[in-house]
């Protein structure tokens, strides 16, 4: 019983832990994470190639048809979609908060729009997902993007990937 009580007490402290040493929570939804007003996802983004362009965190319904679909198409069909866009921080990891409508399963995508054209450029832009599996040359898999969100703040770390030659997308060294 004492171990269970200690576990519960420590779990209650987890939301108070900072996302990363000195990382400021960024994005239009930052208050949801800093004020513990979940449900929300706090994604710590690591492995950025550079500090150009913008980072975007996008939340999709958790199914193949809707995963990475256009936001206009999803809106037309009355489906949930949310995007938070930020400028990459000058140094360190990026801690991005995105609200979710209710606890449940979602698909989460990180894009690094390095050229600023607001459309994914295979040759220069980066991408990442909560699973942190190497993307390679194939279309990203829904299973790699799935995340279960609880009633509070759900934390995840996403390691950005970029085109790395014939092997396709991979992590920076």
Model pLDDT for residues 67-114, shown as the tens digit of each residue: 999 999 999 999 999 999 999 999 999 999 999 999 999 999 999 999
User: What pTM does this model have?
Assistant: 0.85
Average pLDDT, the chain: 88
Residue 19 has pLDDT above 60, yes or no: no
Task: Please give the angle made by the CA atoms of 94, 160 and 20, to the nearest 5 degrees.
Answer: 30
**Most distant CA atoms of the chain, gap in Å:** 56
**Cβ-based neighbours of 94, under 8 Å, separated by 6 or more:** 23, 26, 44, 45, 48, 55, 86, 88
At residue 4, does pLDDT exceed 60?
A: no
Residue range 6-22: mean pLDDT, rounded = 42
* Amino acid 123: pLDDT: 87
Its sign, for the CA torsion 71, 120, 47, 169, is positive
């Amino acid at each position: 019983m004492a171990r269970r009580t200690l576990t519960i007490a420590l779990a209650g402290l987890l939301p108070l832990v900072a996302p990363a040493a000195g990382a400021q929570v960024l994005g239009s939804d930052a208050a949801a994470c800093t004020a513990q007003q979940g449900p929300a996802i706090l994604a710590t983004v690591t492995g950025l190639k550079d500090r150009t362009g913008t980072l975007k965190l996008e939340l999709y319904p958790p199914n193949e048809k809707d995963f990475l679909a256009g936001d206009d198409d999803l809106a037309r069909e009355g489906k949930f979609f949310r995007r938070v866009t930020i400028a990459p921080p000058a140094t360190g990891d990026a801690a991005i908060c995105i609200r979710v409508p209710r606890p449940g399963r979602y698909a989460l995508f990180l894009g690094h729009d390095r050229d600023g054209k607001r459309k994914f450029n295979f040759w220069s832009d980066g991408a990442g997902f909560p699973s942190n599996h190497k993307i390679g040359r194939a279309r990203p898999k829904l299973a790699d993007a799935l995340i279960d969100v609880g009633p509070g703040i759900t934390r995840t770390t996403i390691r950005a990937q970029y085109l790395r030659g014939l092997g396709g997308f991979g992590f920076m060294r």
